[in-house]
Amino acid sequence: MVMFVRSPRGALISGIITLIILAIVYFAVIKPAQNTTNQVLSNANQQEQQALSTSSLQLKQAQQQVGGNPSAQKALTHAQQVEACVAAAGTDPTKLAACH
């Protein structure tokens, strides 16, 4: 910051004005954007957990219905492995891509 003020009072005032401007920018722009981002991530995590619990329930129901059919059991085992991989990957796109 270059100051063209010769008096210490002028330097102090310009410093205070700079801090006020930075505070306004933070509370008017940065903080709301950060709150919105956090809310979106929280909602995405909730949806992911709901989807995983639903798929787990559906896999359990499918296992009960399949019985002794070996090809169906193989498909269900693969589905369970993919589900476990997705649950372990969380929100990491690289790990999620590796699951498929």
Domain edges within the chain: 8-99
The confidence score (pLDDT) of residue 95 equals 83
pTM of the model: 0.59
Q: In whole angstroms, what is the distance from residue 58 CA to residue 63 CA? A: 9
Which amino acid is residue 95, in one-letter code? K
The rounded percent of the chain whose pLDDT value lies above 90 is 30
Q: Give ∠ CA 68-72-74 in degrees, rounded to 5.
A: 100
Mean predicted confidence (pLDDT) in 48-67? 83
